[in-house]
Structure 1
Amino acid sequence: MSDSPAETYLRSMLDINPVWQSASALQLRRKTLRMPNHDRRQTGVDSDSVDDMVAKHQNRAKARETVSHLQQQFFHLSDEELSTGLATLNAEEVPELAPTIRRLQIAASERNSFVTMLADKKFDRELVIALGKSVVLPQSDAGYVREKFIQNLTTKNSRKRARETSLKIQKAYPDLFALERDWLTHAAKQQSVRTDEVRRSILAQLQGPVLWNLDRLPNRQDLPDGLSRPLQPLRAANASHSSDGIDIWPNLPIASQ
């Protein structure tokens, strides 16, 4: 069953971006309501018929479907299927999808690079897989992938491998690195960032009316670098108090590191 003229008008109008297609929106309104066009400055582009606007709406909807399909099946499609799908997309016709189309094109040119990295044991496999997902999935899904990977960097070794792999990607695959520069850079800095957070957390817990037992803390081997020094004045300040304090070590976030 075909849409009524009102439904067709509404669908076409909702598909127009008022930022750069305001003239087209006004022209569509005039034509639909059969209003006279008093603006002599209207160009041929603004004189699209309702049929033309409907055709554009359908083309944009098809482009969105194609992009969604490529994002979900990116690593399952053959080279020919991927190339054909990308060839049907015209970023000029769907400017709101232009950044996504560009990312997919770059990722497609580097798709074999993921196979190479996964075969190289010097690369962090989990980071490579997360990178593959983040460069092709919709931003909402990609954001979840990035955040989950960062949260899983819970050991010194995992942070080291992430840092080394990020540097390798930057050097060997600069185009891929450019797509996720902020995230990869953030992953590479996780060790120092985590150390600062732990230091602030411990010092915050040690500041207060509760008497802590500090005797064990400076001698722990896995304290972050630079933490022993700021603990010294706190230890000295508590030296005159009873040693029956509370052992906070099991509750510290670095206890499991």
Structure 2
Amino acid sequence: MKIDFFSKRFLITGASSGMGAHIALTLNTLGAEIIAIARDEQKLLKQKSFAKNKDLFHILQKDISEINSLDKWALEITKQYGSFDGAVLSAGIQQIAPISSVLSVESAIPLFNTNYFGNLQIIKGLIDRRAKSNKNASFVFLSSNSSVKAQKGLTNYAATKGAINTAIKSIALEIAPLSYRINAISPGFVMTEMIEDWSKVYDSTYIENIKKEYPLGIGKVEDITPLICFLLSEYSHWITGQNIVIDGGASL
């Protein structure tokens, strides 16, 4: 089985770092035209410098936590670039705190706006009939194994990911008549730039302890991207509405 994405066009949120950046660059290497979206334009430019097909790697600076009219903005993108073959909704932020300090609407809103509502608005724009997304378009939403495996301090974060897992089931039924598909993947602990940025939390002791929970070891972005490519490809044309856990056995 060989997967290529020549003449395909995908939108990627959270494309400036981590899994979003890796999937954007991988899809571009496989021939796809990429619309890479993130808050930090400089980081997006850095990722574009790594792209194999730079002419097919477009960047758009946008904070998707600003959810008002985001669906209309996504629809306008389709008018500028043309029909899409799918999207990877990977933009997300994390919050680690005990329930005693996070149980408030104010602390939950930023997470839900970025992890859930913002990405959902992007999907809404792309599945709009006026967007004319291509037949068999596939959408992949990044969830987390924290939605299926209990972990301390992740009350709000896990809730946003649980919302994704349930929402895609309803969305899958609604978009099936259009020949569109949507699935989620739930990665476990993956070493990314975000982990390095949170070094005070994810110190060497934490990393050594968490390794004990992963039978196959801690993950890398390279462990996640192949599954996303498969879900975007024609080989997964009979898979929709599913949440697929990929965590090296940590949730067993």
* TM tier relative to shorter chain: under 0.3
Q: Give the structure, 1 or 2, with the largest relative contact order (CA under 8 Å, sep 6 or more).
A: 2
After TM superposition, the score normalised by the length of structure 2 is 0.23
Q: In terms of Rg, which structure is larger?
A: 1
Q: Which has the higher helix share?
A: 1
Q: Which has the higher strand share?
A: 2
After TM superposition, the score normalised by the length of structure 1 is 0.22
